Structure 1
Amino acid sequence: MDRVHLNPPPAADVAERADAHSVAPLLNCLLREIAEPHRPPEGERRVYRLRGSGRLLRVLGERRPAEPEVRRDGAWQRIGHAELVKLVADELRRHTGSPNHELPAEILDSRDALAALLTARARATPPDDPYLRSEQSLLTGHPYHPAPKARGGGPVATWLPYAPEAHARFPLTLLGLREDAVVEEGDTSALDALGEAPPGYRLLPAHPWQLDLVGPALADAFADGRLLRLGTTDFDAWPTAAIRTLYAPARDLFLKFSLDVRITNDIRRLWRHDLLKLRRTDSLTATALAALDGPAAWLADRGYRTADFAFEELAVLVRDGLRDSVLPGATPLLAAGLVEGFEGSPLHGARDPAAWWRAYLAQVVPPALAAFADHGVVLEAHLQNVLVAVDTDGLPVQALFRDAEGVKLLPDVSRAAGWERLVYCLVVNHLVEIAGALAEHHPGLDPWPAVRRELARHGLPEIPALLASPTLPGKTNLLLRWTGADGADARYLPLPNPLLRA
């Protein structure tokens, strides 16, 4: 990563900002999952009763709560991040009846990682490309996860060189994989163009961080010649918001790797069961998006290559690049980046925010609904899996969807379960967040009547019930992590539905 500032930010400033950025998502989880509104707001502060202990907690603001205070001895007392972590752990023990020593450490690791990212980011040069800036903008990350920036608890030096939030870029490690050990499916020809393998070998790129993590387990393969080290690529790849998915602009290529680190709810491996169903899922999703009457596009996961002796550890997935998918003259941007904010974001600078929002909805909503209605494809249309391309005026003109690993198919899941997942990903995780950011930057705009009108245009039988429901499904990431549930085992609780109010 390029360094441009000689003087790091003051440690006290970094600590204060890291605490503030870490308090907000932890409070969001606590208030969503194990608290309830207690009485009318006290000015700008909202008061909640915690279900585990009955304690009263009040916070400043609603969308990104701050400055938590606990009621003690008849007075409100401010608590910092470390004390909030202890309070959350105590509430969860009381609420669930179960202990968990891992999650508090993970939450503290997330806060410390954020401090390291703040320091590194102040010294780094952001990419010139607005698309890459949007991918690398997620300093705070998932607003409803208790530890959105945790990096597995490892030393900072092991992961910081690969952190998108620190504007990292780096070459890929190239391995030679003996031909009799190759396992692959789909179109992996782009991998063979990354360098030159000796006779009897195929190229296998590796994420250098992953290779550091699993390297000791591969010692025998390097010793007996199943694997060779062939150096690095002659170009850099940029980590995207997903961290383990890298974009190589010089080759217009996305590569997704295994990464044996817990990031949010999952150890981020390319799991065997997901890879074995990849072709079917990707093919059906590509067919669904291609059948639409409009510019929406699917960034296909073309295929994967790995080693038979390290199937998950060394797997690499090849994904379509941008040039053949994005409309001519348009600029793709990560939807999550629009919420987080970055230099040049069109959400901030929209001259007519209501028109901008209508254009956004017209690009994002119809493809997700049509894929479900006409093809039984449940896109994981959350903020990190959707790119929105804008024209030269910053107006949304196209949506691009990605990540076959997160797609669900009917009837592999029931229609009801698929619809609930789609509503969570598209409405709760995505539109609620974009709407909140837009209203924050453009006071006076009510974004929800436009969402209601856009949804009502579509003839799915589930739409009337969605518009009339008092609640929407909200994922319980805090309870999922506390109870040790599988990361893919989504559990939901009811949230107030802003569509009903609209």
Structure 2
Amino acid sequence: MERVDLMPPPADDDSAHGDSGPGDGALADAYAAVPLLNCLLREVARPVRSEGAHHVHRLPGGDRLLRVRGTRRPIEPEVEVAGVWQRLGHTGLVALVAEEMRRHTGLPNHELPAEMLASRDVVAALLAARARATPPDDLYLRSEQSLLTGHTHHPAPKARGGGPATGWLPYAPEAYARFPITLLGLREDTVVEEGDTSALDGLGTAPPGYRLLPAHPWQLDLAGPELAAAFADGRLVRLGATAFDTWPTAAVRTLYTPEHDLFLKFSLDVRITNDIRRLWRHDLLAVCRTDAAVRSAFRTFDGPPAWLGDRGYRTADFAFEALAVLVRDGFGERLLPGATPLLAAGLVEGFDGSPLDRAIDPATWWTAYLARVVPPALTAFAQHGVVIEAHLQNTLVAVDADGLPVQALYRDAEGVKLLPDVPRRAGWERLVYCLVVNHLMEIAGALAARHPGFDPWPAARRELARHDLPEIPALLTSPTLPAKTNLVLRWTGADGADARYLPLPNPLREGT
């Protein structure tokens, strides 16, 4: 059984847990509180002092004091009332965050507090489902389906659109879901496609005059009213389901088919973290150009880094976004022989079989990790003007039989930016946030939590300094790094792609 199923999310070693674990409700509260507290402490609160295992912060909106245990994964929030510390449950924490954000921004928001509460309820449902389910035998799939906490700095990372659990739970990666995909016949005169979609035709057989169109079952449930007329007049026909299962990855809407070594990305009209996870028309129309630019960059690289390309998409002219499916490369010959790919976010979250749980030398492991994940991202930017979204959920790290990183694989052309479509400064800021703040800081924290006394940042400085980019000296000496403000972004109703950053202390700076 997985470590994360047995106890609350691991905090730093200055906040060790007691011997007895909480019940399911308290466990769900603990998981849901961690990312919400991370947002509040990073974006709004200010540190005041430490009191042993506790860390005290000031909430400027009402000038109140909040204390938590731990830093990387804060737990057990308390507020000071008349000189006495009073514990906050998850509902009380949501109420506190809502009050602080109203004061901090001057804006009301009735939607986000409901999402925060719903995110906690989703975690509770996932915990209950996991108790009845069996994790996949395949280590790669186990890493993709490990994310009970998910995004470590988002106020509601596990919200699933507010619908009942019966609608989404059968398709939840965190519940170890696996299921066949629905097959539709799409009348040939309504087909819209770009790029190489030939892999879709191998998933089943379409009748004469139709093309095969796979669909995520949840996608069809959500889009039912929009598609009723097309089923009625024959533009769409139902062809049953695949004879094989697919596995939802951490992205929820992207499925992996091991039998075909293929990834399929679908539209879901559900908000997950910052965005409605629909394959938007403007993104689809740009994806082949963006993917070609990344493929061209990766072809010039020496060594093993790989790009899992988005080959093309197929959809219907009458439901362009609702029925879209994006075809993504599988591992094929891209993966080094004998290597096992693992989701980087899974390494942070923890899963049964993680190489970080082995008796590794952290310095050796970390040096190998940096040598795999840093050069492709920096070289793509410096030599090709390509900004890959190298955050934890878009990076796979392949390890050898000893658990040592030997290869990095990247994915998701939808999140890629190209210069000069975006200014170089904006592209660099995005790269630093994704690669360093969202990614390296989290992996470094997971290593340091397992190996007290280990300092990961000298090796990170050395790896970054090897690269001849004009931005590197400033990166290594700046007092701060850009951290995305997901709580403020969601509270103010900004577009999910409209990243806003605040300064975060830079661990790469010597002496920090």
TM-score bucket of the superposed structures, by smaller chain: over 0.9
Partner of 1:37: 47
Partner of 2:334: 325
Q: Distance in 2 between the 1:55 and 1:501 partners?
A: 33
Q: Distance in 2 between the 1:167 and 1:448 partners?
A: 35
Partner of 2:37: 27
RMSD: 0.9
Determine if the alignment matches structure 1 residue 157 to structure 2 residue 176.
no
**Structure 2-normalised TM-score?**
0.95
Determine if the alignment matches structure 1 residue 16 to structure 2 residue 26.
yes
Displacement of 1:456 in angstroms is 0.5
1:469 to 465, 478, 484: 478
Partner of 1:364: 373
Q: Residue 79 of structure 2 aligns to a residue in which SS? A: strand
- The code of the aligned residue for 1:33 comes to E
Displacement of 1:348 in angstroms is 1.8
Determine if the alignment matches structure 1 residue 407 to structure 2 residue 416.
yes
Q: Distance in 2 between the 1:52 and 1:273 partners?
A: 39
Partner of 2:228: 219
Partner of 1:133: 142
Q: Residue 255 of structure 1 aligns to a residue in which SS? A: strand
Displacement of 1:350 in angstroms is 4.4
Partner of 1:4: none
Determine if the alignment matches structure 1 residue 236 to structure 2 residue 257.
no
Q: Residue 499 of structure 1 aligns to a residue in which SS? A: coil
- The code of the aligned residue for 1:327 comes to L
1:311 to 302, 310, 320: 320
Q: Distance in 2 between the 1:376 and 1:12 partners?
A: 49
* Cα deviation 1:64-106 (Å, max 9, x = unaligned): 0011111110111111110010000000001111100000000
1:201 to 175, 199, 210: 210
Partner of 1:8: none
Displacement of 1:122 in angstroms is 1.1
Q: Residue 449 of structure 2 aligns to a residue in which SS? A: helix
Tell me if the contact between 1:469 and 1:497 (Cα under 8 Å) persists in the aligned partners: yes
Q: Residue 181 of structure 2 aligns to a residue in which SS? A: strand
Q: Distance in 1 between the 2:45 and 2:474 partners?
A: 27
Partner of 1:482: 491
Count of residue pairs the alignment pairs up: 491
Q: Distance in 1 between the 2:480 and 2:104 partners?
A: 23
Tell me, which stretches of 5 or more residues in structure 2 are unaligned? 1-20
Partner of 2:275: 266
Determine if the alignment matches structure 1 residue 376 to structure 2 residue 388.
no
Determine if the alignment matches structure 1 residue 172 to structure 2 residue 188.
no
1:255 to 257, 261, 264: 264
Q: Distance in 2 between the 1:13 and 1:266 partners?
A: 32
Tell me if the contact between 1:348 and 1:438 (Cα under 8 Å) persists in the aligned partners: no
Partner of 2:91: 82
Tell me if the contact between 1:350 and 1:356 (Cα under 8 Å) persists in the aligned partners: no
Partner of 1:184: 193
Partner of 1:340: 349
**Structure 1-normalised TM-score?**
0.97
Q: Distance in 2 between the 1:12 and 1:228 partners?
A: 49
Percent identity, aligned pairs only, is: 77
Displacement of 1:323 in angstroms is 2.4
Tell me if the contact between 2:116 and 2:156 (Cα under 8 Å) persists in the aligned partners: yes
Partner of 2:11: none
Q: Distance in 2 between the 1:344 and 1:156 partners?
A: 29
Displacement of 1:501 in angstroms is 3.7
* Cα deviation 1:338-365 (Å, max 9, x = unaligned): 0001111012214211100000000000
2:503 to 485, 488, 494: 494
Tell me if the contact between 1:22 and 1:111 (Cα under 8 Å) persists in the aligned partners: yes
Q: Distance in 2 between the 1:152 and 1:211 partners?
A: 15
Tell me, which stretches of 5 or more residues in structure 1 are unaligned? 1-10
Q: Distance in 2 between the 1:44 and 1:169 partners?
A: 41
* Cα deviation 1:259-289 (Å, max 9, x = unaligned): 1000000000011000001111000001111
Tell me if the contact between 2:477 and 2:510 (Cα under 8 Å) persists in the aligned partners: no
- The code of the aligned residue for 2:335 comes to V
* Cα deviation 1:128-169 (Å, max 9, x = unaligned): 000000000001100100001000000000000000000000
Tell me if the contact between 1:350 and 1:394 (Cα under 8 Å) persists in the aligned partners: no
